[in-house]
Homo-oligomer: A and B are copies of this chain.
Amino acid sequence: MRVMAGPQLALAVSKAGGLGFIGPGAKPEDTNTDLATARELLGRTSVNNPVISFPLDGTLPIGVGFQLWNGDIQVAERAVGQYRPCAAWLFAPSKGQPELDEWTTRLHQASPGIQIWVQIGTVAEAVECVQSSARPEVLVVQGAEAGGHGRKDGLGIMSLFPEVQDAARESGIPLIAAGGIADGRGVAAASALGASGVAMGTRFLASTEARIKKGYQDEVVRAKDGAHCTTRTMLYNQLRGTTGWPEQYSPRGIINQSWHDYQAGVEFDELKRLHDEAERSGDQGWGPEGRLATYAGAGVGLVHSVKDAGVLVAEIQTEARDILRGLGDMYSHGQ
């Protein structure tokens, strides 16, 4: 979720019994600011997480995400060393597994006890990662339903997850399912596939704590039919001037007028002019007739309202638990 997941959101999730992550900032140093804020907020509150227990050694009960291709490993080392987030999530190296290995090793050294989560989107990436020398603590398996940037060549989590699980089984590394999961049904389904947990982004774009513009958030709530209203395209990166992503990634977002005009053959310069104009119009820049990037996953059609992150975590956990208890009961008859 990049800048949209700040310290307020991350802490709210962890306090409710999830594990919140601060996303990568607009520039590497922003992570320090966010972690300092989290540390300060934490001083004024307490975290009594029923799922995850934290050692009383000053570890922060939240994780932090790093986007490797434009990250700064020295800044990251200092950040995790100083603020002690319990986990670091590594994504999108430009130089593949060796780059992941280097970050894993150096962050482990900078903050002993930190859990390294590595996000992958293909079976091949998973195999390479679990066979590498620098062992992460967790693999995040991201399906093609996910919003924002992911593998161009990914596929639905229903097929991807079990195949990654088979490939990674011997390593014993726990797997987290990501992509297209936005409520308790998805969590229950991921559990049934064998996931140790799920990662949710899009659902938390519509949380009160998300660092997101109202126009963007309104559009996440409005959008229906995630398969039709979202697509993977580099267009919005180009309009925003975001360049440099390694070529194996592309982002999923909600389509709007920029996309329709692009499909209709409108020249890029004109699209860019209209985009920049929309940018100056504030919240009206988003929406079906808007022109601004609205990165979101295919589960966006399951998001219908903005809620406190803590309420979301509790509701989703309860729904998933009820589903699994119910199915367990059903299949225990006549055991």
A124 touches B331 (CB 8 A): no
Name the B residues within 8 Å of A181 (CB-CB): 158
A302 at the interface (CB under 8 A from B): yes
Interface positions, chain A 156-181, Cβ under 8 Å from B, are 156-163, 165-166, 179-181
Complex interface: stretch among A12-20, A57-65, A188-196: A188-196
A163 to B122, CA, bound (A): 25
**Inter-chain contacts of A160 with B (CB < 8 A):** 226-227, 298
Query: In the complex, are the beta carbons of A162 and B185 less than 8 A apart?
Result: yes
Min CB gap A300→B, angstroms: 8
Pair A124/B159 contact, Cβ less than 8 Å: no
Partner of A180, one of B159, B228, B329: B159
Q: Mark A141-156, 1 if CB is under 8 A from B, else 0.
A: 0011100000001111
A46 within 8 A of partner (CB): no
Copies in the complex: 2
- Interface status of A53 (Cβ within 8 A of chain B): no
Main secondary structure on A side of the interface with B = helix
Beta-carbon contact of A122 and B180 below 8 Å = no
Closest CB in chain B relative to A1 CB, distance in Å? 17
Task: Give 30 A-B contacts (CB < 8 Å), ordered by A residue.
Answer: A123-B228, A143-B156, A143-B158, A144-B227, A145-B158, A145-B159, A153-B228, A155-B180, A155-B298, A156-B180, A158-B190, A158-B299, A159-B298, A159-B301, A162-B182, A162-B183, A162-B186, A162-B299, A163-B226, A163-B227, A188-B327, A189-B190, A191-B192, A192-B323, A192-B324, A324-B324, A324-B331, A325-B332, A326-B328, A328-B329
A residues bordering B, Cβ < 8 Å?
122-124, 143-145, 153-163, 165-166, 179-183, 185-186, 188-194, 224-228, 297-299, 301-302, 321, 323-332, 335
